[in-house]
Structure formats: C-alpha cells, structure tokens
C-alpha cells in the first residue's frame, strides 16, 4: 500500500527548491520509479513535489556551439526519437531506446532515469541491507547473478540501472543542478557515487537539489558513438552487460576514446584498460582481441556472476568490430 503524502505542483523553480528543502520531500517526474519505491517502502516521503509545471524543463534544443541541451523532464521516448540526438549522438538515442518498455519510455523522463533507485531484490524487498543503513550486504552470500563485477569493494554490489547514463558519460555530458544554496554543473561521470564513498547514496545530489538540464557538448568532427545492451529478456529488462562507446576515428585510427560499461558496477563504469588498448591504434583484429581481454582485467566477480566476464569480452569484441 502507498503511504500518505501531500502533493504540490509549483510553477517556478524557486518554489520547487523551497518545497524540496523540507524534510522527506521528493521530486515527482514521471513517477515510474518513485511510486514503486514508495510501495516497496525504500523511501519515506511526506511531500511529493511535481516538476510538471516547469515548462523550461521540457524539450530539446541546440546550443550556440552546436551541442544540445535537454530538459530533465523530457521523456525518454523524446530523447530516443529526436532527430538531432540521433544525428549528433546515436549512442544516446540507442541507450534511450533500450530503456524498459515503450509505455515506461513514454512516461519516464531523462532526469528520473538518471536518479532512479537500484534494482537489487534485497534492497527492494524487506531486507535492512547496507544501502538502507544496515550492516550487511545480503546479495554477497545470496542471489547476485545480476550484480556488479567492478567497483563494489564487497560493500554493496548493485549495478547502476540507467541505460542513458553510460552513453551520456561517454559523450562527456554535464548536468545542470539547482538547489537551495546555488546552481552548479556536474559532469555525468562525477554524478554517481561508489559504495566505498557512501553506500547509502547513488548520486551527489544534496537535499533540495534538482537536475534541470542535461548538456551535451558539440560532437567532435570525427566522433562516432554507440550503445549495446545485453539482457535476459527482449521485452524489458535491465542490462546484464552493456557498452557505451564514444570514439574519435581519423584515417581508421582511434584518436580519442571514452568507454563506459553498464550492468557492470554500482556506477557507469569507465573502462580505462579498453581505452588504453584502442587509443592511437587502428581497430584491427589483434587490437580488438586485446581490448576484449582488457575489459575484464580489473574485474572482481563473485561466485554467481563470473559469466559476466565472457559477456563483456563478447560485447567489446562485437561493438568494436561494428565501429570499423
Ligand atoms: C518495469 C521497469 C523496467 C525498467 N527497465 C529499465 C531499463 O531497462 N533501463 C533503464 O534505464 N531504466 C529502466 N527502468 C527505470 C525507468 O527508466 C525509470 O523508472 C524512469 O526512467 C524514471 O523516470 P521518471 O521520470 O518516471 O522518474 P520518477 O519515478 O519520477 O523519479 C525517479 C527518481 O528520480 C528522482 N528525480 C526525478 N527527476 C529528477 C530530477 N529532475 N532531479 C533530481 N531527481 C529527480 C525522483 O525523486 C525519484 O527518486 C525500468 C523501470 C521499470 C518500472
Ligand atoms: S547489493 Fe547493495 S542494495 Fe543489494 S543487498 Fe547488498 S547492500 Fe543492499
């Protein structure tokens, strides 16, 4: 059953932030994750603050330098289908089109997609695990076949759930954030928090803060981007393994690369070993094989998810071949 809460729909950002600064206030965007979290009892909310009246937070437009600015309330469908996104950042289009189901993409927003709570079944269930303030990670000795193989430090082994965050991080996107004290801009790659830093937080957002926009820099002339997701069910499912590539390729040589994994770690996971192998090289068979081996070289799988090692190798191999 849903707990009781009040609901407000402010029409200025200033009022929104004021409401959000109250104890146990939460942002309501599309509600597709939030309502489930309330039903599962993983959040306590006394006041729901809707963003829907903030017209500046809707839509996608081009910036003066040829980049894009996406309002946080823009639906995932709009991101997936927008011609400018598709033309400039196909990796982001693909990531958005891989989110959940058409109904959820129509209702869910890009801001909500970045801030959704993790999907660990112990966390969503009745277990008072470390992410809820307890002292045990039940997944470590329990069911963890979908959990992380990087970056967990055996503290909390969730995988970050968003399919738009890895391509956004690969594309060097930034988030505009407004809060009670001031506004700030945070690169997507610095937005998410590892369990070692704080096992109870997923993002650097502070109480009262709201993401207003996602800003993408103008794509470099030779930029090519992609996103690949492997999942158990075709209908809708979270990533078992995924790969976001943003490569600059000149004369068949990779001159610059940003490589992020999904379904891998508690945050979108940057694969420096793959970047180191491919940058400055042509994507020939030997380089691709080396990159496929490198992607798992720092992995720390747990008994039930060692199969992900081969999945990541395969995804890297296939996606780099497709980039040639
Ligand atoms: C069955 C199912 C399958 C799914 N599968 C996938 C999948 O495969 N891939 C994937 O990426 N996602 C998946 N999702 C998650 C889905 O994409 C999210 O529910 C959705 O993106 C959240 O968007 P929303 O606008 O509905 O957010 P809400 O539910 O309104 O909010 C989600 C969270 O973000 C916070 N929030 C929302 N907007 C902002 C903002 N602008 N600033 C700060 N905080 C904010 C809210 O307070 C809340 O905590 C799935 C969800 C479901 C229910
Ligand atoms: S993986 Fe994280 S969320 Fe899941 S049980 Fe362990 S501490 Fe809790």
Q: What are 89-114's pLDDT values in tens digits?
A: 999 999 999 999 999 999 999 999 99
pLDDT of res. 3: 82
pLDDT of res. 264: 98
Distance CA 58, CA 174 (A): 17
User: Average of pLDDT values for 61-70?
Assistant: 97
Residue nearest to atom 38 of ligand 1 (CA): 112
Q: Are 274 and 182 in contact (CB under 8 A)?
A: no
pLDDT of res. 76: 98
**Is residue 29 in contact with ligand 1, taking CB distance under 6 Å?**
yes
Residue nearest to atom 3 of ligand 2 (CA): 123
The SS3 call for residue 151 is coil
**Is residue 210 in contact with ligand 1, taking CB distance under 6 Å?**
yes
Q: What is the pLDDT of residues 10-55, one digit of tens each?
A: 999 999 999 999 989 999 999 999 999 999 999 989 999 999 999 9
Per-residue DSSP letters for 115-139? HPPP--HHHHTT---GGGT-S--TT
User: Average of pLDDT values for 153-168?
Assistant: 98
Is the predicted pLDDT of residue 217 greater than 90, yes or no?
yes
Q: What is the pLDDT of residues 283-318, one digit of tens each?
A: 999 999 999 999 999 999 999 999 999 999 999 999
User: Average of pLDDT values for 72-77?
Assistant: 98
Is the predicted pLDDT of residue 1 greater than 80, yes or no?
no
Is the predicted pLDDT of residue 132 greater than 80, yes or no?
yes
Per-residue confidence at 278, pLDDT binned at 50, 70, 90? very high
Substitution site in 125, 158, 238, 300 for ligand 2 pocket (most atoms within 8 Å of beta carbon): 158
pLDDT of res. 101: 95
Strands (E) across 204-240 are located at: 210-216, 223-230
Q: What count of other Cβ atoms lies within 10 Å of the Cβ of residue 62?
A: 13
Q: What percent of the chain has pLDDT over 90?
A: 96
**Is residue 163 in contact with ligand 1, taking CB distance under 6 Å?**
yes
User: Average of pLDDT values for 140-165?
Assistant: 98
**Which ligand 2 atom is the nearest neighbour of the CA of 121?**
4
**Which ligand 2 atom is the nearest neighbour of the CA of 137?**
6
Is the predicted pLDDT of residue 233 greater than 90, yes or no?
no
Average of per-residue pLDDT values in the chain: 97
User: Average of pLDDT values for 184-209?
Assistant: 97
Q: Which residue has the tokens 């400018």?
A: 84
**Is residue 146 in contact with ligand 2, taking CB distance under 6 Å?**
no
Distance CA 168, CA 150 (A): 19
Q: Are 54 and 13 in contact (CB under 8 A)?
A: yes
Distance CA 51, CA 7 (A): 11
User: Any idea which ligand is nearest the CA of 176?
Assistant: 1
**Is residue 227 in contact with ligand 1, taking CB distance under 6 Å?**
no
Where is average pLDDT lowest: 85-99, 224-238, 271-285?
224-238
Is the predicted pLDDT of residue 235 greater than 80, yes or no?
no
Is the predicted pLDDT of residue 202 greater than 90, yes or no?
yes
**Is residue 33 in contact with ligand 1, taking CB distance under 6 Å?**
yes
Q: What percent of the chain has pLDDT over 70?
A: 100
Q: Are 33 and 224 in contact (CB under 8 A)?
A: no
pLDDT of res. 25: 96
Residue nearest to atom 2 of ligand 2 (CA): 156
Alpha carbon of 50 to ligand 1 centroid (Å)? 14
**Is residue 74 in contact with ligand 1, taking CB distance under 6 Å?**
no
Q: Are 72 and 57 in contact (CB under 8 A)?
A: yes
- Please write down the long-range contacts of 222-226, taking CB distance under 8 Å and 24 or more positions apart: 222/248, 222/249, 222/250, 222/255, 223/247, 223/248, 224/90, 224/248, 224/249, 224/323, 225/89, 225/90, 225/91, 225/92, 225/167, 225/170, 225/171, 226/90, 226/91, 226/94, 226/319, 226/322, 226/323
Alpha carbon of 187 to ligand 2 centroid (Å)? 26
**Is residue 131 in contact with ligand 2, taking CB distance under 6 Å?**
yes
């Amino acid at each position: 059953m849903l707990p009781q809460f009040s609901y407000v729909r402010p029409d200025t950002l200033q009022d929104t932030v004021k409401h959000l600064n109250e104890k146990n206030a939460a942002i309501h965007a599309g509600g597709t994750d939030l309502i489930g979290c309330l039903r599962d009892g993983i959040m306590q909310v006394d006041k729901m603050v809707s963003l829907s009246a903030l017209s500046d937070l809707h839509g996608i437009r081009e910036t003066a330098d040829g980049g894009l600015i996406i309002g946080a309330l823009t639906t995932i469908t709009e991101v997936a289908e927008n011609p400018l996104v598709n033309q400039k950042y196909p990796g982001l289009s693909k990531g958005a089109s891989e989110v959940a189901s058409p109904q959820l993409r129509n209702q869910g927003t890009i801001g909500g997609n970045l801030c959704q709570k993790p999907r660990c079944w112990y966390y969503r269930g009745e277990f008072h695990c470390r992410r809820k303030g307890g002292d045990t990670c039940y997944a470590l000795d329990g069911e963890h076949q979908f959990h992380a193989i990087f970056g967990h430090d055996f503290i909390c082994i969730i995988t970050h759930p968003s399919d738009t965050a890895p391509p956004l991080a690969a594309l060097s996107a930034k988030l505009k954030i407004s809060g009670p004290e001031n506004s700030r801009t945070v690169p997507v790659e610095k937005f998410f928090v590892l369990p070692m830093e704080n096992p109870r937080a997923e993002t650097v957002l502070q109480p009262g803060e709201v993401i207003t926009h996602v800003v993408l820099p103008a794509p470099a002339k030779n930029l090519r981007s992609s996103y690949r997701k492997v999942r158990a069910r075709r209908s809708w499912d979270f990533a078992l393994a995924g790969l976001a590539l943003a490569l600059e390729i000149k004369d068949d040589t990779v001159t610059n690369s940003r490589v992020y994994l999904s379904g891998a770690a508690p945050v979108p996971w940057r694969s420096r070993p793959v970047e180191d192998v491919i940058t400055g090289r042509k994507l020939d068979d030997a380089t691709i094989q080396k990159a496929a081996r490198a992607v798992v070289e720092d992995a720390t799988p747990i008994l039930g998810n060692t199969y992900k090692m081969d999945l990541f190798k395969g995804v890297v191999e296939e996606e780099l071949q497709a980039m040639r």
